Chains A and B, each alone.
Chain A
Amino acid sequence: MQVTGSLKGRSSRLMRSVNSLAGAAMFVAPLLALVAIWAIVVPLFNVNPRVFPSVGAVGAAALDSIRDGTLFTHVGASLLRVGLGTLIGIATAVPLGIAMGVSPTVAAFLTPLFRFFSVLAGIAWIPIATLWFGYGFGAIVFVIFNAVFFVVAYNTLLGVRTIPHTLRNAAASLGAGRWALLTEVLLPGALPNIVTGIRTGLGFAWRGLIAAEMIATNVGLGYMLFVARDFYRTEVIVFGMIVIGVLWLLIDRLLLVPLERATIERWGMVRRA
């Protein structure tokens, strides 16, 4: 039986924050090295700015977009779409995943459909989504929803199936009815898997978002990249790519990883690969 961090003293908490600082430094170091190489190579070979921008040009593009506020318009639009699509995805996928986890019949019937649609999930839906919802918000939210839905539903199913049957028996013999079984056993028991599913699904959704925004809208990070291409603004393209990558790392490291770790560690559950 493992003793978790909450039992240990203050000194280990200090050690842990030192460790996490060191971890952050280790994480940032290779990225800084890449920027350093970029700063040396571009002037050294006198690279045409239409092919690849200098570090300075990208910095200037960054300052411009911050000063005139366009960066925040694009980031805000993208985050809103991802947030809404993800919420709808989770709200629909979790109940379905639990229904599949509880009923072998439902699971058997839906599994082939899931296999089929999880291949198609995300960007393959962009063309038809634009026909259904028009160019813009609705179509992109649908693509995000689609990318999140299948992964979360499948992970919820896995989560419910990994709950030992004795826990359901224990709850029933303590007087739990169907509703209590759902809220007290199935949902909390599946939560670590659900969180893992959300993390994976959001990763798909983020990629899908950029692709959808290149095609189906006139605002957002994907659009920002795509329009800059028309004017050979490589510094705007590269800046946009950096924003996309950094935003995802922030979402993943600051939101999803701690959430996943909290549910899995707190409940002493081992992640099943």
Chain B
Amino acid sequence: MKTLSLRNLGKTYFDPYAGAHVTAVHDVSLDVEPGEFISVVGPSGCGKTTILNMIAGFIPYSKGDILLDGKPVHGPGPERGVVFQSFALFPWKTVLDNVGFGPKMRGVPKAERDRIAREYLALAGLSHAAHRYPNELSGGMQQRVGVVRALANNPDVLLMDEPFASVDAQTRMTLQEELTRIWQERKPTVIFITHDVPEAVFLANRVVVLSKGRVLDEIAVDLPRPRVWDDLVKDDRFKQLSARVLQMVRAA
């Protein structure tokens, strides 16, 4: 496990429609400890997805540094796993082969990567779906596959870009509970992007609030685990924290 550091990170790009340079991210510094679960919240256009895409290496950054264990990162790489809002499963591969894709890229032999994939599918309660194709699954199941596909590759950091935004409300709560359970079992380092304040607080150890390309504030979430919605909806501490973050986001 390695520490991820963002140092004075900035992104400016040319917007052909506006005909001008636009700064999406001004100056963001953030240290993420190994095994930490960080939620990044903020209103639309605050730069949260841009930051995630820069860490993932999908877009280059304009200034500052992204350091993983002290070394700068450029371009995508398997040490930074990504869970996409649109799931991004390979439609021509079975669930098993989707989850085994990362190990396959590392040259893991077929039998061994099937074993790894099955282990992670079991973790998400998906063993029965191993030989199905993504289009045969519900949205919630597809995103479970998306999460374990990233985890099965053993990344140093798991980057999640509003992963539960496109599933229905009930499924979303189940997925959030499953994610906290899996996180407790495996302790991956997670950066979770969302605009949903209760979701951010429910999942994280620390919530980072962004505004206009800058870090507005950080709030430690000291709620006990395991976290389940039935308990937390009645929990005063959860309500206080959520209200505080919500206030900040609305003022942002």
A interface residues (Cβ-Cβ under 8 A, vs B): 1-4, 7, 164, 166-167, 169-177, 180, 184-185, 188-189, 191, 266-269
21 A-B residue contacts at CB 8 Å?
A: A2-B136, A3-B136, A7-B136, A164-B88, A167-B88, A169-B58, A169-B88, A170-B90, A172-B76, A173-B56, A173-B80, A173-B81, A174-B78, A174-B150, A175-B153, A176-B105, A180-B105, A184-B90, A188-B92, A267-B91, A268-B136
For A267, list chain B residues within 8 Å (CB). 91-92, 133, 135
For A185, list chain B residues within 8 Å (CB). 90
Q: In the bound complex, how far is the Cα of B103 from the Cα of A174, in angstroms?
A: 8
Binary interface encoding of chain B residues 59-88 relative to chain A, with 1 for a CB under 8 A from any of its CBs, else 0: 000000000000000011110111010101
Known interface pairs A175-B106, A180-B105; 11 further A-B residue pairs with C-beta atoms within 8 A, sorted by A's residue number: A3-B136, A164-B88, A166-B86, A169-B58, A170-B88, A170-B90, A172-B76, A175-B153, A185-B90, A267-B135, A268-B135
Q: Most chain-B Cβ atoms within 10 A of its Cβ — which of A2, A175, A177, A184? A: A175
Asked whether A169 lies within 8 Å of B105 as measured between CB atoms, the reply is no
Asked whether B77 lies within 8 Å of A2 as measured between CB atoms, the reply is no
Q: In the bound complex, how far is the Cα of B78 from the Cα of A164, in angstroms?
A: 20
Q: Is B198 part of the contact surface with A, judged by Cβ < 8 Å?
A: no
Look across to chain A and name the residue whose beta carbon is closest to the beta carbon of B53. Answer: A169
- The distance from the CB of A237 to the nearest CB of chain B, in whole angstroms, is 46
Look across to chain B and name the residue whose beta carbon is closest to the beta carbon of A188. Answer: B92
Q: Is B42 part of the contact surface with A, judged by Cβ < 8 Å?
A: no
Total chain B interface residues with beta-carbon distance under 8 A? 31
Cross-chain contact of B101 among A164, A169, A184, A191 (Cβ < 8 A) = A184
Binary interface encoding of chain B residues 101-137 relative to chain A, with 1 for a CB under 8 A from any of its CBs, else 0: 1100110000000000000000000000000011111
- The distance from the CB of A202 to the nearest CB of chain B, in whole angstroms, is 23
- The distance from the CB of A171 to the nearest CB of chain B, in whole angstroms, is 7
Cross-chain contact of B153 among A3, A174, A266 (Cβ < 8 A) = A174
For B149, list chain A residues within 8 Å (CB). 174
For A167, list chain B residues within 8 Å (CB). 88, 90
Q: Most chain-A Cβ atoms within 10 A of its Cβ — which of B58, B137, B138, B150? A: B58
For A266, list chain B residues within 8 Å (CB). 92, 133
Q: In the bound complex, how far is the Cα of B77 from the Cα of A69, in angstroms?
A: 63
Asked whether B81 lies within 8 Å of A174 as measured between CB atoms, the reply is yes
Q: In the bound complex, how far is the Cα of B100 from the Cα of A174, in angstroms?
A: 10
Knowing A164-B88, A175-B153, the reply to whether A170 touches B139 (Cβ < 8 A) is no
Asked whether A191 lies within 8 Å of B92 as measured between CB atoms, the reply is yes
Knowing A169-B58, A170-B88, A180-B105, the reply to whether A268 touches B82 (Cβ < 8 A) is no
Asked whether B78 lies within 8 Å of A268 as measured between CB atoms, the reply is no
Asked whether B135 lies within 8 Å of A1 as measured between CB atoms, the reply is yes
- The distance from the CB of B139 to the nearest CB of chain A, in whole angstroms, is 7
Q: In the bound complex, how far is the Cα of B153 from the Cα of A175, in angstroms?
A: 9
Cross-chain contact of B76 among A3, A173, A189, A268 (Cβ < 8 A) = A173
Knowing A4-B136, A266-B133, the reply to whether A175 touches B92 (Cβ < 8 A) is no
- The distance from the CB of B149 to the nearest CB of chain A, in whole angstroms, is 7
Q: Is B57 part of the contact surface with A, judged by Cβ < 8 Å?
A: yes
Asked whether A169 lies within 8 Å of B76 as measured between CB atoms, the reply is yes
- The distance from the CB of A133 to the nearest CB of chain B, in whole angstroms, is 39
Q: In the bound complex, how far is the Cα of B77 from the Cα of A167, in angstroms?
A: 14
Cross-chain contact of B84 among A170, A172, A269 (Cβ < 8 A) = A170
Q: Most chain-B Cβ atoms within 10 A of its Cβ — which of A3, A164, A174, A191? A: A174
For A164, list chain B residues within 8 Å (CB). 86, 88
For B82, list chain A residues within 8 Å (CB). 169-170, 173
Knowing A166-B86, A269-B91, the reply to whether A173 touches B137 (Cβ < 8 A) is no
Asked whether A1 lies within 8 Å of B138 as measured between CB atoms, the reply is yes
For A2, list chain B residues within 8 Å (CB). 135-136
Look across to chain A and name the residue whose beta carbon is closest to the beta carbon of B153. Answer: A174
For B135, list chain A residues within 8 Å (CB). 1-2, 4, 267-268
For A170, list chain B residues within 8 Å (CB). 82, 84, 88-90
For B56, list chain A residues within 8 Å (CB). 169, 173
- The distance from the CB of A168 to the nearest CB of chain B, in whole angstroms, is 9
- The distance from the CB of A100 to the nearest CB of chain B, in whole angstroms, is 21
- The distance from the CB of A56 to the nearest CB of chain B, in whole angstroms, is 52
- The distance from the CB of A159 to the nearest CB of chain B, in whole angstroms, is 12
Asked whether B136 lies within 8 Å of A174 as measured between CB atoms, the reply is no
Asked whether A174 lies within 8 Å of B92 as measured between CB atoms, the reply is no
Knowing A1-B136, A7-B136, A267-B133, the reply to whether A174 touches B101 (Cβ < 8 A) is yes
